[in-house]
Every structure is written in C-alpha cells, then in structure tokens.
Structure 1
Amino acid sequence: MTKKVDLDWNNLGFSYIKTDYRYISYYKDGEWDNGALVEDNVLHISEASTALHYGQQAFEGLKAYRCKDGSINLFRPDQNAARFARSCTRLLMPEFPQERFVEAIKEVVRANEHWIPPYGTGGSLYIRPLMIGVGDTIGVSPAPEYIFTIFVMPVGAYFKGGLTPTSFVVSEYDRAAPVGTGAAKVGGNYAASLLPGKEAKKRQFSDCIYLDPLTHTKIEEVGAANFFGITKDNQFITPYSPSILPSITKYSLLWLAEHRLGMVVKEADVFIDKLDEFTEAGACGTAAVISPIAGIQNGEDFHVFYSETEVGPVTRRLYDELVGIQYGNVEAPEGWIQKV
C-alpha cells in the first residue's frame, strides 16, 4: 500500500465515502472515448438528460477483497459485465465493451488500493459502475450521448457480530411488471421499492417480500435481493421468473450447493402458501452475501423457518464457503476469482 487512510476499519458502515479516483468514459457520435481516471466526483450533465427525465440509467455492484497474503480479489466481475450489457441493451443504451468493463474496474481498484479494508476486518471495497443517458433530449427517445463511470468506497461487514436472522413481510406492491425491466439492474426498479420498503421497516421488518405481479401467489424477490429456501429433503430452491434480477450471488450459491454441498438445486416456483416445505430460507446479494430469514409475515400468518435467533446449518455452510472464496481462503471454481 503506497498511501495511508485514516479510517476505523473495524467499524465501517455502508455509506458513501469519497475516494481518490474514479473512471469515466464518454459516448458521443457512436463511439466510446478511451476513458480516464479522474479526481472529480461530480458529474456535469445537461438538464435535459434522459437519465433525469426518463430513467435511462443502469448500474452494477460488486466488491474487491483484500486477501491474507495482501493480494486483491475480484469476484466474478465478468458476470457483472455481462449483466450490465444486458441491462443497457434493455434500455437502448450502448453496450460498454465487457473486457473494457473489467479492465476499468481493475484500474480504479488499483488507483484506490489504499482504501481497501485490511484482511480480517470483514470489510471490502464496494465498486459501483453505472451508465446514464445525457445530452439535450426532451422527447421520449434514447439519449444522443452517454456517460459510463465507476466509483469505489470502503464498506464494512454487513453483519455486526455475525449472521443474524431477521423477518420480512409480504408486500401488496409489485416490484416490477411481468414483462417489464425486472431482470435489468436499473434505477427505476429501486425507486419503486422505496415506499414498500419504508412501510415494512415501520412495522419492524427488515424489508418486503415481493410476489409475482401476475398472480400474487409466488415469491419473486426479497427487498433488493434474491430469495432461496432449503427444503426438508435438503434441496436448494430459488424462484424462477423472467422479472427477477439474475443475482450473481444466487447463481454462485446454486453452484456451490450442488457441487460443494451435494444438494439437489432448482429454479422453480416458490408458492407463498407452501412455506412449510422449507426448513431454512435466506436473501442473497452482493451487499450481505446471505441474509438469513427468520420468518415471513403474510397477512395474519407468520411463518418461522429454522429459528428466529439462530442461523440454519446449510445457510451457515453456504455463507462460509462463498465468503471464503471471496477472501481467498477457500479454493474457488475456475474463473470465479480475478486478481487485480
């Protein structure tokens, strides 16, 4: 590390911290420029930008991890690049070349290496790539120009004191339309979730359970994360739907459950009135990896899974396996880890 950062590494939260450099590239006249590292953390855009009026915007989230030997791991950044490309295509934005996407991430991480929390603190460097439509466009149409940028910030362990089961409540709101943008990582999906999330927290729940918008009978997502359940006969089940965001963490857990834990894995319907088929349940995503679900409130019914206070054994094993891979303590499947 070439620089020192004065932070309490053991007590980081998940909030914005301005680091030294970010990557930025501009799309104009049908092509991307070469991109560069800059120190300015303010984007200067037209008041008529489509990102401001019509939500033409997509983003990603991933992390860099400091390993015991001092090296730096990226966890499956090629998968973030591919998902980002799909999101941009859905919103008629130009694809940022996927190889350049990964290389730009490495460039930003190297430039801000001294902001990566030390090994053993449970912290990591959160990485936020995003693209916005800019330029002078007031009609409902794709933007003439785009900005792609990546910024980073140190974040702490999501769980203070370890994994902690929490409870969720079924929402009456829909997260996404049946053939809308639910499978794309775009800002509008998250803006729509703010009100139901606030209402859930008012009732002392961690967040919402969203059901499928067509029938309101099947679980789709848990707040901003994907759902999984462990059945009584030791199967790993996660919902399947074209309006679910395809979580990289979820697909990693599917692989690990099958190949490391020897479980049967399925993407299938998870009916809200059949929760008693599951002994454990959780939400999964980049921020928390796994958030164990203690119980789900559905109307007047409250269903408890493994325990309201203890983490189930399968959930614990999956968490330890995946976090071990990310920090370099457990052997990773081929191609999952890229060094910076």
Structure 2
Amino acid sequence: MVKKDIEWSQLGFSYIKTDKRYISHWKDGKWDEGKLVEDNTISISEGSTSLHYGQECFEGLKAYATKDGGIQLFRPDENAKRMQRTCEKIMMPLVSVEKFIDACMQVVKANEAWVPPYGTGATFYLRPFVIGVGDNIGVKPAEEYIFGVFGMPVGPYFKGGLSPVNFTTTDADRAAPHGTGKIKVGGNYAASLKSHSEAVDRGYADCIYLDPLTHTKIDEVGAANFFGITKDNKFVTPNSSSILPSITKYSLLQVAKEYLGMEAVEDDVYIDDLDKFAEAGACGTAAVITPIGGIEHKGKFHVFYSETEVGPVTKKLYDTLYGIQMGDIKAPEGWIYKVK
C-alpha cells in the first residue's frame, strides 16, 4: 500500500478529507446494511431533530499502524457500548457492537493509504456519529436516523505532544449532575466552547470544570478526564455523575494497577487539596495523556511535578498505554481488534 505524501510528524488535530466514509440509514424500524461513500457531505431535512433538539451523538477512537505492518483498533467495543448508552438516553436506535466495529474497520481499510506509518507519532482518528433526521417539528424522537463513520490522520491534540501544559478553573458548568454529562452528546461540547476560549485567551491550554453541585471538586479537564498521582504513588481520578466515562481513563486505571503495580481509584479530587498530588494529567482518546504542569484557581497557581518536564509516573503510564495501542506491549485480553 502506497501511503499518502504527508509530513506525518507535523500533523495536528485537524479535519482532513480522506477517500471513503461509512453511512447507514435507520428507517421503518431498522438499520440498512450501510455502505462506503466518497461524498463527505450529508443532505438532511431542515426539520431534523439533530438540528433543533440536539438528538445526536458521536464517538472518537483510533486505528494504529503496528511495527509488523498491521493495523489495529483499541477497545472499539467499549466505544460501541458507550454510544449505545448515549443513544438509549436520548431515545435514538442502538447501533449494535458488531455493526459499529465493522463500520470502523471498513473505513480504516478503505483509507489505508491515510493511516500514518508506525513510528511517526501520528494515528488514524475515527469519528462515528448518530443523528436524528427526517421531517420533524415537534419535540419528540425522530423516525429516521443516520449512523456514519469517517476518519483522518491526526497528530497530538495539544501542541507539543507529551509536554506539560497549564490549565485554569472556570465558574461555568458544562453539564449537570445526573444530566447528559455521562453521555457523549454534542451539546456538552457546545456548552464548553466559551469557557475554553476564555481560558485560551488567558494563556492556558483549556479550562477545568468543577463539580456543578458544589464547585469544590475537579470534574473534567476541558474535553478530557483528570488524573493525579499522589505523593504516596496512588493513581486517582475523579468520581462524578457528570463525567463522561472515558475509555482512556478506565484503561489507565487498569494499566496503573496491572502494569505499574499502583493502587488506582476513582475518588473525589478537591480543588483546594492539590498539594497531595506529585503529578497530574489529562487523558482521553484525542490527547491520550497530556501532563498538567499547573492549575490556576482563584488567583493561585499550583505547580505539580514541573511546568517543563514530564513526571516519571506520567511518562510510564503514557509509554505503557501507547505501547499497548501501538502493539509493542502485550495488551490485556480483548483490548485489541486487528484490522489487518
């Protein structure tokens, strides 16, 4: 397979139109077989529920080129299950795990020339989505839906790759307790745009959301999950009803326990108790791990390990998880799906 002529190591996290994408329609109570298409535009009714009532969701996962020339997906079944939970919450038809994984594999195979080669630091990002469509006007579930998957090569989400960045807290709330924070709907991200922009304008990579009920505990780091390494070497990540259950976070919990021999827990992380952490980071599919240099809160700036160097435990966590994703380290049973 002849690869595209791209400076893979220079890629950022930006949209690139690739050759093929997958599309499937729900009508009359069932999904059709789905197919690959070249057109990267979708024509939908002006009455689509996705446009008016936010009846839509998405996922994000990656395909990785391995040293032996293969390509693999990392825990796509977990993305499929999370999409099912989202669809169920906002009354959209479920996409089966099998259909979800098959669609992702079809897109990767059809765009193999766009999958970054092993060792370049770039990966192939997949964006599955479900949207409510059709002629609607009342506040009710749509009668027709589209399930699609497209993909593109990407570099690191935050510029600089594995190097510390700084964050600031915000008084804004992205999601409510027991609301849509635990599902992956676009409205959660629309609700974060202003706070993100304000944080960037102040010189930070993104903002940190505190729990919406008391504003005393860390919930999420922008579009990623938070984790901290305590001074007695415990991996801690927030536990909250308004946090998206990150597949990367739960993978890191397992990696910390089984590969690094650490105690790893979900627990409250109080914003006024950051001194207990020797290191901290943000994690997610797009970012994988981004070390947190420091956090600004109410005029005070707390530095963790360093603003310029990656902490040793964070580095081990990253190297282990990334090694598993790239096929260089043996993965736990069921984590890897071979595309070829």
TM value normalised by structure 2: 0.98
Residue 292 (structure 1) shift: 0.5
Conserved 8 A contact 2:122-2:154: yes
Shift of 1:10: 2.2
8 Å Cα contact 2:21-2:150 kept in structure 1? yes
| Alpha-carbon offset, residue 100 of structure 1 | 1.0
Counterpart amino acid of 2:146?
Answer: I
d(CA) in 1 for partners of 2:13, 2:161: 16
Residues 31 and 259 of structure 1: is their aligned pair in 2 closer, same or farther, counting only changes over 3 Å?
A: same
1:27 aligns with 2:26: yes
Residue in 2 that maps onto 1:79:
78
1:331 has 2:330 as partner: yes
1:157 Cα deviation after fit: 3.7
Q: CA deviation at 1:246?
A: 0.3
- Counterpart of 2:134? 135
- 2:238 maps to which residue? 239
Matches within 5 A, 1:225-236: 225-236=224-235
Shift of 1:295: 0.7
Q: Deviations over 1:77-126 (max 9, x none)?
A: 00000001001111100001111111111111111111101111111111
State the partner residue of 2:301. 302
Tell me, yes or no, if structure 1 residue 89 matches structure 2 residue 88: yes
Using the alignment, how far apart are the partners of 1:306 and 1:73 within structure 2?
34
**1:6 deviation in Å?**
2.3
Aligned residue number for residue 286 of structure 1: 285
1:142-162 Cα distance to aligned partner (Å, 9 max, x none): 111000000011112446665
Give the C-alpha shift of residue 242 in structure 1: 1.3
C-alpha RMSD of the superposition = 1.0
- What code does the residue aligned with 2:273 have? K
Q: Structure 1 CA distance, aligned partners of 2:331 and 2:297? A: 38
Give the Cα separation in 2 of the matches to 1:307 and 1:264.
23
Cα offsets for 1:9-57 (capped at 9, x unmatched):
2211211111111110000111111111111111010001000011110
Distance in 1 of aligned mates of 2:59 and 2:201: 28
Q: Residues 129-168 of structure 1: matches in 2 within 5 Å? A: 129-158=128-157, 162-168=161-167
Partner amino acid, structure 2, of 1:85:
Q
Matches within 5 A, 1:54-133: 54-133=53-132
1:163-182 maps to which residues of 2 (within 5 A)?
Answer: 163-182=162-181
CA distance in 2 between partners of 1:218 and 1:252 (Å): 22
Q: Deviation of residue 4 (structure 1)?
A: 4.0
Question: Which deviates further from its counterpart, 217-226 or 9-18?
Answer: 9-18
Shifted more, 151-160 versus 108-117: the winner is 151-160
How far off is 1:8 after superposition? Answer: 1.8
Q: Deviations over 1:172-227 (max 9, x none)?
A: 00010112100000100000000000000010011011001111111000000000
Q: 1:162 to 1:154 in 2, by over 3 A?
A: closer
CA distance in 2 between partners of 1:118 and 1:229 (Å) = 32
- Which residue of structure 2 lines up, in the alignment, with residue 250 of structure 1? 249
Query: Structure 1 191/161 Cα, relative in aligned 2: closer, same or farther at 3 Å?
Result: closer
The one-letter code of the counterpart of 1:90 is K
Distance 1:160 1:139 in 2: 43
CA distance in 1, matches of 2:158, 2:150: 23
Partners in 1 of 2:219 and 2:136 — Cα distance? Answer: 35
CA distance in 2, matches of 1:12, 1:215: 40
SS at match of 2:191: helix
Partner Cα distance (2:338, 2:156) in 1: 21
5 Å-filtered alignment, 1:155-234, equals 155-158=154-157, 162-234=161-233
Structure 1: give runs of 5+ residues left out of the alignment: none
Normalised TM-score (structure 1): 0.98
Which secondary structure state, in structure 1, belongs to the residue aligned with residue 87 of structure 2?
A: helix
Whole-Å Cα distance in 2 between the matches of residues 142 and 303 of structure 1? Answer: 46
1:9 and 1:295 mapped to 2: Cα distance? 30
Is contact 2:13–2:154 with CA below 8 Å preserved after alignment? yes
- Report if aligned partners of 2:161, 2:290 keep a CA contact under 8 Å in 1: no
Count of matched residue positions in the alignment of Structure 1 and Structure 2: 339
8 Å CA contact retained: 2:130, 2:145: yes
Q: Aligned with 1:68: secondary structure?
A: coil
